[in-house]
Chains A and B, each alone.
Chain A
């Protein structure tokens, strides 16, 4: 069980992470909604589940977190900044050519395991890492976070077949199930449900939780691995835009590039004291 103090700390940190993310949604913008949906997942995994931090990146026994959808990288950088792993001022370099903080992750930022952005790649990469950990008889946990829309890509399912064949029970696939892909609800375009059954059919042992509930996440991740000799899958039901009611669950607020006063408004909305007035055009990208 998480203590009340631990939960309070997580909630305080999550608020900080969301603030940092929202500040990136201007001057070029970012994929705001998808970053807010997985913010709690990423924060929880780094603080309570994974044995990885800037001091042990060269340790072959450490754990791994691969961010497969990639455009949620503001949540990763904001988590790094909140935990003191990345100087907060580096985030001011967002989209600037002299730094490496752009719309998708890359290994120039310490702690980023692999570059992503082309969907459906990192499950296979993570499976390769998991295979090597097993081959060396090590106990590392290897986590990959995928989007839900990303599951349209067949390469994910191909990689699961192989992960199951090689009994990679050190591999955990976390799905940020925010219900949207780019501009459309997943179920309106390429339905994914029943998603647990799909993962089960591909050999995974599956759990499903509210991805914003730290207690539920803690309970679900304490039980990892969910079965011996099979990969595990955690479907985390989340809300795209969690924390900001004015953009939450809105198909047209995928990529967000707001004016500075709108960002200030959204930061107030995050504190629950205000409803933001958004006049910037909703962007339809892709």
Chain B
């Protein structure tokens, strides 16, 4: 079952849910005809969609808002922060084509600061599923949360069967390993998964964590990985600032833990627009490139 069918089932079960969109229907095309008035398209107006969602939430509704991640989190940022965040309202935000998934659209459409922005709002929970199956596994829990939620929508096909038990703030350990730990989320999960196998072929046992929720983060799993493995690698289609690398850095510093951490993220620039496979190779995030970058870093710390 895909996102749209899962969402339809949940929304049909419970009157409180409304599906909203700022005229971005790619993931919810069949819903207007089944939801009628509980489907609300506000047109190309992310601010109004969020403001109305806040009003709906005041009336006891749980609005699930869809727009491209870049416009949802940035055009409407102050509405999210002020109306939803200060209000502490259970408004759910589903950002389309986040990170590398915007492939050839160009920098206007690149949401690679969305995690940073959303985690700056007190109370906002952030769910970044590895693929559509992972999204569907976590969807109900995130919608039932009494807090506001930001979801990085991800339509990619799963390359592994995911664990069905899902808890907010709990990572999924996909591969065990003692040498290093790959920490990742969202669409780069499958590259990280393939990279872990390439590393294994080189005699490096990589643990792989699919973090699922970035806020709250699974501090216990990360601190355990820091104790049990010698290197942490953060892999994300997000700016280096404010995303997973920042979250892990803050966590380690707060807990007075010191170990090598290799950040694989976008540094101070937008990525080159192209079709997704080309984006990955051009930016150095395909599985072989990830494995090579990790092995090169391991050589530098071994040489120290």
Contacts and interface: CB of A to CB of B under 8 A. Distances in A.
Interface in A113-130: 113-115, 118, 121-130
B58 interface: yes
B51 to A, nearest CB: 2
Interface string B30-41: 000000011010
B83 interface: yes
Interface in B213-259: none
A127 B82 CA distance: 17
B48 A158 contact: yes
Interface string B67-87: 000000000001100110011
Interface residues of A, number: 27
B58 A124 contact: no
Contact of B48 (A114, A132, A135, A159): A159
B143 to A, nearest CB: 18
Given A121-B83, A162-B42, A127 B48 contact: yes
B173 interface: no
A125 B51 contact: yes
B53 interface: yes
A155 interface: yes
A202 B70 CA distance: 28
Interface residues of B, number: 27
Contact of A127 (B55, B57, B86, B87): B55
A158 B47 contact: yes
Contacts of A192: none
Interface in B37-64: 37-38, 40, 42-43, 45, 47-48, 50-61, 63
Interface string B126-158: 000000000000000000000000000000000
B17 to A, nearest CB: 12
Query: Which secondary structure dominates where chain B touches chain A?
Result: helix
Given A128-B58, A132-B56, A123 B51 contact: yes
Contact of B54 (A118, A125, A158, A161): A125
Nearest to B46: A158
Contacts of B58: 113-114, 125, 128-129
B37 A135 contact: yes
B51 A132 contact: no
A128 B43 contact: no
7 contacts: A114-B54, A114-B58, A114-B83, A123-B51, A128-B58, A155-B47, A166-B40
B142 to A, nearest CB: 21
A129 B38 contact: no
Given A118-B82, A161-B45, A126 B38 contact: no
A120 B82 CA distance: 12
A128 B45 contact: no
Nearest to B53: A128
Contacts of B51: 121-125, 127-128, 155, 159
A113 B58 CA distance: 9
A39 to B, nearest CB: 25
